[in-house]
Amino acid sequence: MKTGTLILTVAAQTLVPLQILFSLFLLLRGHDEPGGGFIAGLVVAGAFALHQFVNGPQATRRLLRVDPRDCIGIGLLLGVGSAFPAWWQGEPFLTAQWWDVMGLKLSTPLIFDIGVYLVVLGSVLTAVITLTEVDKDET
Amino acid sequence: MQIAVLTGFVLAILVPFLSRWCGSRTGMVLALYPAAVALWLVSLAPAVLQSGGIYFEQAWAPSLGLSLSFWLDGLSLLFGLLISGIGTLIILYASGYLHGHPQIARFYVLILSFMSSMLGVVMADGLMTLFVFWELTSITSYMLIGFNHEDAAARKSALQGLLVTFTGGLALLSGLILLNVVGGSWSLQTLLDDGEALREHALYLPMLLCLLGGAFTKSAQFPFHFWLPNAMAAPTPVSAYLHSATMVKAGIYLMARLQPGLGGTEVWMTLLCIVGAITMVVGAFLAIRFTGIKKVLAYSTVMALGTLTMLLGIGGEAAMIAFVSFLTAHSLYKGALFMVAGALDHETGTKDIDEMGGLRRAMPVTALCAFVAALSLGGVIPLFGFVAKELMFEAVLDAPRFTGFLIGMSLLASVLVVAAAGIVALRPFFGALKTTPKTPHEAPLSMLAGPCVLAGLSLLLGFMPWLAGDGLLSAAASAVAGSEVVTDLYLWHGINTALMMSMFSLCIGLLVCWRWPDVRGVIHRFSPVLDRGPEAGYWKLMDLLVRVSEWQTRLLQSGYMRNYLILTLLSFVGLTGYTLLARHGPVLEFELDVRLQEVVVALVTAASAVVACMMRSRLAAVAAAGVMGFGIALIFLLFSAPDLAITQLLIETLTVILLILVLFRMPQFSSLSTPMERVRDMLVAVGTGVLMTLLILTILGQGHLFTSISEYMIDNSEPLGHGHNIVNVILVDFRALDTLGEIFVLSLAAIGVLAMLRLQAKEKKAP
């Protein structure tokens, strides 16, 4: 696939970091305002997809540092893991737990949401990157 | 209690890191876990023996009445001790047996997971808890049998074991659900307390058959016995642990557990006695037919499992005491013998008894262990096996029904077992020294510890059976019998019928062992008949299964997207449409109260859908479909559902990206369908659209078709979920389990895409 037309390259340089930041913003505010892990995951996946169109899959892999497949795994672990703190308290599986750490509202739903975020990111990127790489192999 | 059970799984996760730190000492470190469990069980023993049991419950899904609950009584304690005690020795043994094996970490992961699952089975109180752990043992057993996964035979055997036990598992699940329906509880303890009601219920027979189906397949009862000897493809530590001492006894455990509630009826006695007795004889007979040392041991395990089933069928105090004693004795000597077999295989390089001989000089300790354990297997005084065998004979002599049949069968089986014991313990070690593939020498210490300890225990308990008998075994026997049983074990019962039967079987058995090659020659003449056993039936069934699936795949899986789509949509329209028309009647009233912007958006959306269908180029069609999606997102926004709108927008964007990536790989758009097909497609599409419209109108029009739950969500989002965004609170808190399921589906889809594309790319490269 052809990469890097001028307009796309310039736009991506500004847009990708902004999109990543915005996705984190969406993720963290999700519990009270529109947003949340799923949406934020889609936004950040869009950011990396854009980066990939400009710079090619190799560069995106480097930017991401971890394999998108590992993202899926870590996300699932976080999702399942967030179910267990309730156990410790002797409450039914997956009951939400809330902790107040220095004025911050921390909770198992937040961990769960981060898990969703990573799974969405990993899944979409696995598909996108694989599709591009296979294309490259063939040509 | 849950910590004891679940630690194994956590440790299993940590094994890869542990093995990096500890290197070859990993085995010793990991053996601490079962050892700790064993100590913990011993420390709980006095409390259990006094109070009759310890209970633990952890709520899981209280709204469904499901919980993770454990119950530790005499029977669980006995099994738990066997599992953890022998487990400790097995892990040590494996660290010697698999020393330097590149996959040894994987082995530890599996064996620890298995150990935890097995502990879960024997301590479970909740029916679903029991079932989950039960299936976990099947899965781990599958992976352990197929441990040498590059060997086609091992894979085949593993699959066979899995299919047989899983089929049984399905039966068990039905049985457990029936048990819940009949007894009205998920707790075994509550259910078994009210055995009368269970036994007299109209569903007793189907329930019993389902439960026994699970137990019989797991414990390799005739005619399902064939998978167990094949499972010997596993490394020997696995055979010693799973396929003799623990997993195959899960079925026995289940029957023993259910005995106070479901046992004692006509059907129960008939089924268990007959099946048990047949299994016993078939196992013992097949044991002397083969020359592979592990096969001989495997079939003698089948024999022991049959004996245990038969004893449960006989019922009554004497049989229960015999049951727990035989169970313990068998685990001790069979564990030891398997470890000896592994040592022989490891040090000589062959598994065939015919190729071994005169090894007593090269491997004196192994020989001694084998000798002691085999004496116990053969039931020779003064080993614990003798005590168990005497008790077994006494129970059989007192059997209330089929007495003659059972006496005959058990006598025959014990003759053959004595022969098998002789074959395993005498032939490899005595006689002229034969050349083996490897030069034999004594096994390393880690591999001797296991058999020495177990054989030593057989001997110790033989002289002092009251050590186990007074506390542990009587508690276990009481749990099985459902009432207080006092076991009074002693070595010498005096000269009575049981002793006579013992002596008789010993003499004839040794004779058979001496003339073994001739006996095998005689049996060999019948092998065409023997080869037509249940296993042949299994393979026939497998062939049939493959053929049927090929046929139905050809029928259903045309590989054309349009066919799948039409089939899916038509069945949706048919089923939902029928329900709508027949049950509710469609409602067609609505008020046309729309704003201008809504009309505009709706028109644009509809127009882009039409355009998408007419387009001659793929890219244009994708773009048009995208416009349609954005239109829907706008509608969401107009009705103030920002979360939905954002999601819809993002999904649309990503869909377009993905589609464009895929489009490059597709051939040019061309019109291949005939006008008739186009009409058909249009009809299906219009039908679906009409149905959806009707559905929405009906739901909105009647208003009370379903009670709305959104009120509850809105009211409780803030106080219970600590969040103002209701959609998010529902996703990550109220309905978190659904979301968890969804992210798993999403991951699977991604893995599917990956596998499909990669495989295709590989296939293209390969030729």
In angstroms, how far is the first alpha carbon of chain A from the final one?
A: 9
pLDDT band per the 50, 70, 90 thresholds, residue A1: very low
Q: Tokens in use for B234?
A: 């596993």
Q: Do B743 and A115 touch (CB under 8 A)?
A: yes
Per the CB < 8 A criterion, the answer to whether B715 and B605 are in contact is no
Which residue of chain B is at minimal alpha-carbon distance from A46? B654
Which residue of chain B is at minimal alpha-carbon distance from A70? B747
pLDDT at res. B766: 59
What distance in Å separates the CA atoms of residue B638 and residue B635, rounded to the nearest whole number? 5
pLDDT at res. B209: 92
Residue A123 lies in a domain: yes
Going by C-alpha positions, the residue among A76, A68, A111 that lies closest to residue B741 is A76
For A2, left (φ over 0), alpha (ψ -120 to 50), or beta?
A: beta
Q: Which residues in chain A are closer than 8 Å to B725, comparing Cβ atoms?
A: 30-36
Strand partners of residue A99: A106
Per the CB < 8 A criterion, the answer to whether B337 and B290 are in contact is no
Mean pLDDT of B194-221: 88
Residues 6+ apart with CB under 8 A from B692: none
Going by C-alpha positions, the residue among B247, B128, B272 that lies closest to residue B188 is B128
Q: Do A91 and B727 touch (CB under 8 A)?
A: no
Q: Is A85's Cβ below 8 Å from some Cβ in B?
A: no
Residue B767 pLDDT > 60: no
Strand partners of residue B71: B55
Please give, rounded to a whole number of angstroms, the shortest distance from the CA of A103 to a CA of chain B: 14
Q: Which residues in chain A are closer than 8 Å to B737, comparing Cβ atoms?
A: 94
Please give, rounded to a whole number of angstroms, the shortest distance from the CA of A46 to a CA of chain B: 7
Interface test with B, best of A1, A22, A32 (most B CBs within 10 A): A32
**b (16+ CB within 10 A) / e for B30-52:** bbebbbebbeebeebbeebbeee
pLDDT at res. B10: 80
Interface test with A, best of B720, B747, B751, B756 (most A CBs within 10 A): B747
Residue B196 pLDDT > 70: yes
Q: Do A38 and B658 touch (CB under 8 A)?
A: no
Separate counts of helices (H) and strands (E) for chain B: 33, 2
Q: What are phi and psi of B671, to 5 degrees?
A: -90, 105
Residue B583 pLDDT > 80: no
Lowest mean pLDDT among B132-136, B206-210, B514-518, B746-750: B514-518
pLDDT at res. B607: 93
Can you give B665-688 as a three-state secondary structure string? CCCCCCCCCCHHHHHHHHHHHHHH
Q: Do B60 and A93 touch (CB under 8 A)?
A: yes
Residues 6+ apart with CB under 8 A from B410: B277, B280, B307, B310, B392, B393, B396
- Summarised one tens digit per residue, pLDDT across range B595-649 is 888 889 999 999 998 888 888 788 888 888 889 988 999 988 888 888 888 888 8
- Nearest by CB to B747, from A72, A94, A113: name it: A72
Q: Is A70's Cβ below 8 Å from some Cβ in B?
A: no
Q: Do A34 and B646 touch (CB under 8 A)?
A: yes
Q: Do A131 and B733 touch (CB under 8 A)?
A: no
Q: Do B721 and A109 touch (CB under 8 A)?
A: yes
Please give, rounded to a whole number of angstroms, the shortest distance from the CA of A123 to a CA of chain B: 5
Residue A35 lies in a domain: yes
Can you give chain A as a three-state secondary structure string? CCCCCHHHHHHHHHHHHHHHHHHHHHHHHCCCCCCCHHHHHHHHHHHHHHHHHHHCHHHHHHHHCCCHHHHHHHHHHHHHHCCCHHHHCCCCCCCCCEEEECCEEEEHHHHHHHHHHHHHHHHHHHHHHHHHHHHHHHC
Per the CB < 8 A criterion, the answer to whether B168 and B152 are in contact is no
What distance in Å separates the CA atoms of residue B221 and residue B248, rounded to the nearest whole number? 10
- Domain ranges (residues) in chain B: 1-260, 264-527, 561-704, 706-758
Lowest mean pLDDT among A71-85, B62-76, B208-222, B390-404: B62-76
Please give, rounded to a whole number of angstroms, the shortest distance from the CA of A5 to a CA of chain B: 17
pLDDT band per the 50, 70, 90 thresholds, residue B706: low
pLDDT at res. A4: 59
Q: Do A116 and B665 touch (CB under 8 A)?
A: no
Mean pLDDT of B735-747: 88
Q: Do B647 and A32 touch (CB under 8 A)?
A: no
What is the domain extent for residue A55?
A: 6-138
Pairing verdict, β B54-61 and A98-101: unpaired
Q: Is B692's Cβ below 8 Å from some Cβ in A?
A: no
Residue B296 pLDDT > 90: no
Residue A132 lies in a domain: yes
pTM of this prediction?
0.81
Please give, rounded to a whole number of angstroms, the shortest distance from the CA of B614 to a CA of chain A: 28
What distance in Å separates the CA atoms of residue B277 and residue B473, rounded to the nearest whole number? 24
- Summarised one tens digit per residue, pLDDT across range B340-386 is 888 888 888 888 887 887 787 788 888 888 888 888 888 887 888 88
Mean pLDDT of B149-168: 88
pLDDT at res. B210: 93
Q: Is A99's Cβ below 8 Å from some Cβ in B?
A: no
Q: Which residues in chain A are closer than 8 Å to B646, comparing Cβ atoms?
A: 34-35, 39
Chain A with chain B: Cβ pairs closer than 8 A: 153
Q: Which residues in chain B are closer than 8 Å to A90, comparing Cβ atoms?
A: 58-59
Q: Is B599's Cβ below 8 Å from some Cβ in A?
A: no
- Nearest by CB to B643, from A34, A46, A91: name it: A34
Interior angle at CA B535, CA B531 and CA B539, nearest 5? 110
Q: Is B731's Cβ below 8 Å from some Cβ in A?
A: yes
Instruction: Provide the residue count of chain B.
Output: 767
Cβ neighbour number for residue B166 with a 10 Å cutoff: 16
Residues 6+ apart with CB under 8 A from B12: B108, B109, B110, B112, B113, B116
Per the CB < 8 A criterion, the answer to whether B18 and B38 are in contact is no
Q: Do B724 and A31 touch (CB under 8 A)?
A: yes
Q: What is the mean pLDDT of chain B?
A: 84
Going by C-alpha positions, the residue among B450, B539, B540, B521 that lies closest to residue B230 is B539
Question: In this predicted model, which residue has the larger pLDDT, B693 or B733?
Answer: B693
pLDDT at res. A135: 67
Q: Is A122's Cβ below 8 Å from some Cβ in B?
A: yes
Q: Which residues in chain A are closer than 8 Å to B650, comparing Cβ atoms?
A: 39, 42-43, 46
Residue A118 pLDDT > 90: yes
B 734-763: CB under 8 A from A = 736-737, 739-740, 743-744, 746-747, 749-751, 753-754, 757-758, 760-761
Per the CB < 8 A criterion, the answer to whether B192 and B254 are in contact is no
Going by C-alpha positions, the residue among A114, A115, A105, A112 that lies closest to residue A75 is A115
Q: Which residues in chain A are closer than 8 Å to B62, comparing Cβ atoms?
A: 92
Total domains, chain A: 1
Interface test with A, best of B66, B640, B661 (most A CBs within 10 A): B661
Query: At B165, which amino acid appears?
Result: T
Which residue of chain A is at minimal alpha-carbon distance from B737? A94
Residue B589 pLDDT > 80: no
Q: Is A36's Cβ below 8 Å from some Cβ in B?
A: yes
Per the CB < 8 A criterion, the answer to whether B81 and B475 are in contact is no
Residue A1 lies in a domain: no
Interface test with B, best of A70, A72, A117 (most B CBs within 10 A): A72
Q: Is B9's Cβ below 8 Å from some Cβ in A?
A: no
Please give, rounded to a whole number of angstroms, the shortest distance from the CA of B704 to a CA of chain A: 29
Q: Is B722's Cβ below 8 Å from some Cβ in A?
A: yes
Strand partners of residue B292: B352
Lowest mean pLDDT among A66-80, B63-77, B178-192, B197-211: B63-77
Q: Do A122 and B747 touch (CB under 8 A)?
A: yes
Interface test with B, best of A1, A19, A32, A38 (most B CBs within 10 A): A38
Q: Is A126's Cβ below 8 Å from some Cβ in B?
A: yes
Per the CB < 8 A criterion, the answer to whether B88 and B27 are in contact is no
pLDDT at res. B661: 78
What distance in Å separates the CA atoms of residue B137 and residue B8, rounded to the nearest whole number? 13
Q: Is A41's Cβ below 8 Å from some Cβ in B?
A: no
Q: Do B725 and A33 touch (CB under 8 A)?
A: yes
- Summarised one tens digit per residue, pLDDT across range B553-573 is 888 777 777 888 888 999 999
Q: Tokens in use for B699?
A: 């739901």
Residue B59 pLDDT > 90: no
- Summarised one tens digit per residue, pLDDT across range B414-450 is 888 888 888 888 888 877 777 777 777 777 888 888 8
pLDDT at res. B135: 93
Q: Is A55's Cβ below 8 Å from some Cβ in B?
A: no
Q: Is A92's Cβ below 8 Å from some Cβ in B?
A: yes
Please give, rounded to a whole number of angstroms, the shortest distance from the CA of B321 to a CA of chain A: 39
Residue A85 lies in a domain: yes
Residue B61 buriedness (CB in 10 A; 0-12 / 13-18 / 19+): middle
- Summarised one tens digit per residue, pLDDT across range B113-157 is 999 999 999 988 888 889 999 999 999 999 988 888 888 888 888
Q: Do B643 and A76 touch (CB under 8 A)?
A: no
C-alpha B385: how far from chain center = 30
